[in-house]
């Protein structure tokens, strides 16, 4: 949030402002070091004795070893800290850029297996993570051949509806990659197909639309159209998550991230305005 404020306002002196005797930037630096970090790789880690939550969308899923999603966020944070350090001229920017390079190399080395999708963890939960892969595209982790392979893999997931439903809600990974017949994740806190253990999530549609648009805007427009159509024809949508295979179960009505992320991605599609008019449930036309 501090970084977003800096780039949007152009003002950075607040980073030196003290709160309870400590400058805000020092607090950000401490936060960067606060996770369970593997020193040799710079990656976030978890183990059976010192279990660490992976990230917010998997806080009911238990994982171990090196963790992809929080490490991806740490890679991004290192670059943001470097930029803010430059503005403050505090001399630590070079340190953060070196850490960022180390984290990126470790991410590609430990989690990219050539399939196009990234693995979620190196221990418990060592499964392809579709949503975290989408996040990696949004943040620009992979490049060149690896990025091309990832984008084609994601396009294939949409074409074949592997890990994404007809309305654009996204699952943690393709259905044929469940850990077992009784659980999607290896160690989850919910029944299979529900919530974080195989439910389909709306907020990730924004990342998916963006990823598709990088390779071909046609499926991106189709994707966005389907998502909006569902939103306009179902009371309370977009939901937090749903699962049509479980009788259309869902929860989280008018969920904030389910609105803002798909909206941000959709408004960037140049050809979207040419699509047909959608209808609200009341029958009132809404021009998208």
Residues 12 and 82 in one domain: yes
Of 111, 143, 177, the domain-final residue = 111
Q: Residue 268's pLDDT is what? A: 87
**Tens-digit pLDDT profile for residues 246-257:** 999 999 999 999
pLDDT digits 0-9 by tens, 184-217: 999 998 999 999 999 999 999 999 999 999 999 9
| Residue 158 sits in the same domain as residue 278 | yes
Q: Same structural domain for residues 156 and 288?
A: yes
How many Cβ atoms from other residues are within 10 Å of residue 16's Cβ?
13
What integer pLDDT is reported at residue 49 of this predicted model? 79
Is 144 a member of any domain? no
- 32, burial (CB in 10 Å: exposed 0-12, middle 13-18, buried 19+): middle
Q: 107 and 50 in one domain?
A: yes
212 in a structural domain: yes
Report the SS3 class of residue 223: helix
Q: Is residue 210 part of a domain?
A: yes
Q: Does the residue 136 lie in any domain?
A: no
pTM, two decimals, is 0.91
Per-residue pLDDT at 186: 94
If one counts the domains in the chain, the total is: 2
pLDDT digits over 163-175, tens only?
A: 999 999 999 999 9
Using CA atoms, how far apart are residues 261 and 279, in angstroms rounded to an integer? 21
Residue 46, classed as helix, strand or coil, is: strand
Domain housing 23: 1-111
Residue 118 lies in a domain: no
pLDDT tens digits for 42-88?
Answer: 999 998 777 888 988 898 999 999 999 999 999 999 999 999 999 99
Whether residues 101 and 210 share a domain: the answer is no
Same domain? For 160 and 60 the reply is no
pLDDT tens digits, 116-140: 999 999 999 999 999 999 999 999 9
Residue 281 has pLDDT above 80, yes or no: no
132 within some domain: no
Which of 54, 80, 111 is at the close of a domain? 111
Residue 287 has pLDDT above 90, yes or no: no
* Whether 161 and 265 share a structural domain: yes
Give pLDDT, residue 283. 42
User: pLDDT of 212-233, one tens digit each?
Assistant: 999 999 999 999 999 999 999 9
Predicted confidence (pLDDT) at residue 157 exceeds the cutoff of 50: yes
**Does a structural domain hold residue 69?**
yes
**Higher per-residue confidence, 47 vs 158:** 158
Among 111, 132, 161, where does a domain finish? 111
């Amino acid at each position: 949030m501090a970084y977003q404020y800096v780039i949007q306002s152009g003002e950075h002196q607040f980073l030196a402002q003290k709160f309870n005797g400590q400058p805000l930037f020092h607090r950000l630096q401490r936060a960067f070091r606060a996770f369970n970090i593997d020193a040799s790789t710079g990656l976030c880690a978890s183990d059976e004795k010192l279990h660490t939550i992976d990230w917010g969308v998997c806080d009911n899923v238990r994982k171990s070893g090196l963790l992809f999603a929080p490490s991806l966020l740490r890679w991004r944070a290192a670059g943001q800290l470097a930029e803010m350090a430059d503005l403050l001229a505090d001399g630590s920017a070079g340190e953060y850029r070196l850490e960022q390079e180390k984290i990126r190399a470790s991410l590609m080395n430990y989690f990219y297996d050539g399939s196009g999708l990234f693995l979620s963890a190196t221990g418990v939960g060592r499964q392809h993570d579709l949503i975290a892969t989408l996040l990696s595209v949004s943040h620009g982790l992979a490049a060149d051949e690896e990025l091309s392979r990832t984008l084609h893999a994601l396009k294939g997931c949409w074409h074949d509806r592997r890990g994404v439903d007809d309305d654009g809600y996204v699952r943690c990974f393709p259905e044929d990659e469940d850990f077992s017949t009784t659980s999607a994740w290896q160690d989850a806190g919910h029944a299979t197909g529900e919530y974080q253990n195989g439910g389909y999530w709306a907020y990730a549609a924004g990342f998916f639309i963006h990823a598709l648009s990088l390779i071909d805007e046609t499926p991106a427009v189709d994707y966005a159209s389907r998502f909006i159509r569902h939103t306009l024809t179902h009371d309370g949508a977009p939901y937090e998550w749903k699962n049509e295979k479980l009788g259309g179960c869902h929860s989280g009505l008018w969920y904030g991230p389910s609105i803002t992320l798909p909206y941000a991605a959709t408004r960037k599609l140049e050809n979207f305005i040419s699509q047909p008019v959608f209808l609200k449930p009341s029958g009132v036309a809404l021009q998208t």
